[in-house]
Structure 1
Amino acid sequence: MRWVTYLSPSGGEERSGVVDDGCVFGYPGEQSLPELLEQSRDTLADAFHKALASPVEIIVEFETRLCAPVRPQRPVPARVGGEWTGLDPGLVRGTDDGVVLPAGETALTATVGVLALFGGQGRHAGYTPAVLWRTPEGGAVSLILGPAIVTHDEFDGSRLAVEASVEDSRVARAEVDGSLEWADGARDGFAAAALPAQTRPLERGEELYIDGGTLGEFEVRVGAGA
């Protein structure tokens, strides 16, 4: 199952939806995506089928304005390289939000990997690609999540790979233990990130392409965003 958060073209508000057959089906319930993810796996599956059966709207996927699929309310535990840190939830952006260059900066690095989400009793709920953008000095600028949350039932514990490339040239490859052993110390929260691979400095105008395989893909231009 693939879940997204998107801007509704009919009302302009953020809404949860599911992706199927190239379209986004707006979820008709009142719960947000984080609320659904924190419930039981059966509840999440029921909500998916409810969205397909009775969507509030249907939008072609490539025409959908995607938001960050989840917006954590607490610092996000993240293993960046080989060290644990806490990322400010205010850094979170969606794949359609772009990445802004802070004043005075001419380049940013991207550290790539995944965000794992956990539901009730710390059970794995799903994954999404994650990209931490930082200044050359290491200052965090933004944490891009998405395009979608791919739920736990799509994975068998195999290693996950997220590749980053610029103009068909690979600049980073992240491999993450699919058994989630890396997250054992962080599973009492809602989310944890593994970000093991960093790109070279990327300058304004360069486009970074992220390919997460089953997790989805997206492209973002450095310096294009708000």
Structure 2
Amino acid sequence: MRWVTYRSPADGRERAGLLRDGEVRAPDATASLLGLIEADGGLAAAAAQAERAPAEVVDAAGLRLRAPIPRPPAVRDFLAFEEHLRNAVKALGRTDLPEAWFEQPVFYFTNPAAICGPDEDIAISPGSAAFDYEVEVAAVIGRRGENLTPDDAEAHIAGYTVLCDWSARDLQKRESTIGLGPVKGKDSATSLGPVLVTPDELEPYRSGSGFTLAMSGSVNGQRYGGGSWSDIYWSFGQMIAYASRGTHLRPGDVIGSGTVGTGCILELSGLYGSERYPWLQPGDTVRIEVEELGAVTGRITAGVEPVPLKPG
């Protein structure tokens, strides 16, 4: 199944719909996709209702889609591709890979209030001159769980979607010296969409810890880099199991994969950018694409000027 969140052409309300044969069929006039996930029977029951007696049927062409889960309870973004880790460490002028990364998945919490749809303008983070994109996949949690095993965790996935983690590399570098994480370096925008694809749709592509599906990023129509989801080191089952240790995962929680190898400008040009792969500027258009999941597009706009702060 493929699900979207959209604004109805009839009344402007945000609702969830089943995407099939060029149509979007809403099973309910008011239900969100998160509401359908949480309801008895989950998405399977909602799909049956959408086919049998939809509240609305609209042409998918021309619909302005929202993020599948516009307001997730939490967003955890992992770093699960080894090539990205190696390239990023080199770009930052370091030589040693962190041993802990090979012992456990690692993540940071990003901002659930900064979720953007699959075709929204993206403002450069205030004060940044090194704005970047990241090519990622995300899993959306479908039911509650805690202290899960990797095998159990897979069964908690409602579906997958494309994720772009917009990153201010200069802010991130400076903030990282404090040891609290990326902070404002990754706080302004995370794009999700265009669809939520249920796990059964991807089973034919399963390979190793991931799936043989291409992931790529382009700027102004020029392909920059990317790789395959099958290159992932930590599986989503492992990442979700780790995220659930000692805490509750909730329906709608978003779990990001981290960047595929060469899936960002930092990897291609280093911390200072390059003429071939410059940092993003107002007017640029970025496209992040994953086979079978579709693409998100971000048109880059100027950010606001940061308000000066004086200590004390």
CA distance in structure 1 between the aligned counterparts of 2:53 and 2:135, rounded to whole angstroms: 36
Gaps of at least 5 residues in structure 2 are 80-84, 86-100, 146-155, 173-184, 266-278, 304-312
Shift of 1:77: 1.5
Cα deviations across residues 78-134 of structure 1 (Å, max 9, x unaligned)?
A: 114564100111111111222122445455201121111122254221111100112
Amino acid in the other structure paired with 1:171: G
CA distance in structure 2 between the aligned counterparts of 1:125 and 1:114, rounded to whole angstroms: 14
Cα deviations across residues 165-208 of structure 1 (Å, max 9, x unaligned)?
A: 22242333463465632332125413311112442122222222
CA distance in structure 1 between the aligned counterparts of 2:48 and 2:201, rounded to whole angstroms: 16
**Corresponding position of 1:150:** 197
- In angstroms, what is the RMSD of aligned CA positions? 2.5
Q: What does 1:78-93 correspond to in 2, within 5 Å? A: 78-80=77-79, 83-93=106-116
Q: Write 1 or 2 for the structure with the bigger share of strand.
A: 1
CA distance in structure 1 between the aligned counterparts of 2:114 and 2:70, rounded to whole angstroms: 9
CA distance in structure 1 between the aligned counterparts of 2:118 and 2:2, rounded to whole angstroms: 15
User: Structure 1 length as normaliser, TM-score?
Assistant: 0.86
Amino acid in the other structure paired with 1:136: R
2:264 paired residue among 187, 199, 203: 199
- Detail structure 1 runs of 4+ shifted over 6 Å in the superposition: none
Instruction: Count residues in correspondence.
Output: 224
CA distance in structure 1 between the aligned counterparts of 2:134 and 2:285, rounded to whole angstroms: 15
Gaps of at least 5 residues in structure 1 are none
| 2:224 equivalent to 1:170 | yes
Taking only the aligned residue pairs, the percentage that are identical comes to 29
Moved more, 14-23 or 131-140: 131-140
Cα deviations across residues 136-193 of structure 1 (Å, max 9, x unaligned)?
A: 3231220100001101221224324421122242333463465632332125413311
Amino acid in the other structure paired with 2:198: T
CA distance in structure 2 between the aligned counterparts of 1:39 and 1:115, rounded to whole angstroms: 22
Look up the SS of the partner of 1:148 in the other structure: strand
Q: Write 1 or 2 for the structure with the bigger share of helix.
A: 2
Cα deviations across residues 18-48 of structure 1 (Å, max 9, x unaligned)?
A: 11111212222654211222456x4311211
Look up the SS of the partner of 1:69 in the other structure: coil
Judge conservation of contact 2:191–2:296 (CA < 8 Å) in 1.
Answer: no
